[in-house]
Amino acid sequence: MRKTIIAGNWKMNKTNADAVAMLTELKAAVAGVENVGIVIGAPFTALSDAVKAVEGSNIKIAAQNMYPKASGAYTGEVSPEMLKAIGVEYVILGHSERREYFHETDAFINEKVKCALSYGLTPILCVGEKLEDREAGRTDLVNETQVKGGLAGLTKEEAVKVVVAYEPVWAIGTGKTATPEIAEETHKAIRKVLAEMFGAEAAEEITIQYGGSVKADNAKDLLAQADIDGGLVGGASLEAESFAKIVKAGM
Ligand code: PEP
């Protein structure tokens, strides 16, 4: 049975003090929630304090990126070994903002996914089409290419440890959410690709989150869909109250 996971992506927001204050409030708001995985993607600078702030709670901490090497001459980068050493458990990889602004390719994202897994970090692999792709009827093709590229070479055992986040680029930060029906259709198509790659049984085990303007008032309808197993939440994850409502919509 796959797990519902609600993950927040703070992006380039929050000082350490802001992060600790939000997490302290969130901890109280989601105490006792057991059947939903709760993850917060904090900026690198706040990760260590964020891990300490959620100690002993049901909240896990994610990085928003990593470099796929243990260490070395990669100025400005952060390795999976460093993330593991401070207690980070998840890492968001291939977010559309990294694909767009930092020119990340499927092959590079695939290196990161494999490297994260080898360090025991859970990758949240983001995929999703742009508006022009959807309008040109290329939605499924784009997602298939990104899923196949991002998960290339994984074994079935590795694949079931990955979380996939379907995030239509046109819905991120725009206030335009895919309707539950449109999102479900695409999630189904993604699960079919996962089944082709890793078999039907493994595909059924993989959590596929929806991301793109998820808010407290639309989360329940999205999460009620059979193939939507959670959410990756940007804007609405910045405040404890709104994020806790989304978490509770997944219960
Ligand atoms: C995101 O950045 O992953 C995201 C889904 O953002 P928002 O919820 O703000 O659309």
How far is the centre of ligand 1, averaged over its atoms, from the C-alpha of 39 (Å)?
Answer: 14
For residue 166, the surrounding DSSP H or E stretch is strand 163-166
Count the domains in the chain: 1
Is residue 1 very low, low, confident or very high in pLDDT (cuts 50, 70, 90)? confident
The pLDDT assigned to 58 comes to 98
Give residues (CB < 6 A) around ligand 1: 9, 167, 172-173, 211-214, 232-236
Q: Give the ligand 1 atom nearest the CA of 97.
A: 2
Nearest Cα to Cα of residue 168 among 104, 109, 228: 228
Output the pLDDT for position 33: 97
Shortest-distance Cα residue to atom 4 of ligand 1:
234
Q: For residue 218, what is the domain's CATH number?
A: 3.20.20.70
Coil/strand/helix, residue 35: coil
Residue 14 structural domain? 4-249
Q: Give the whole-angstrom CA distance, residue 191 versus residue 170.
A: 21
Using alpha carbons, select from 93, 92, 72 the residue that is nearest to residue 82: 72
pTM, entire model: 0.98
Q: What is the mean pLDDT of the chain?
A: 97
Q: What residues are labeled active site?
A: 95, 167
Burial of residue 20 (CB within 10 Å: 0-12, 13-18, 19+) is middle
Q: Tens of pLDDT along 173-209?
A: 998 888 999 999 999 999 999 999 999 999 999 999 9
pLDDT one-digit tens code per residue, 86-114 = 999 999 999 999 999 999 999 999 999 99
In ligand 1, the atom with minimum distance to the C-alpha of 235 is 9
**Closest atom of ligand 1 to CA, residue 237:** 8
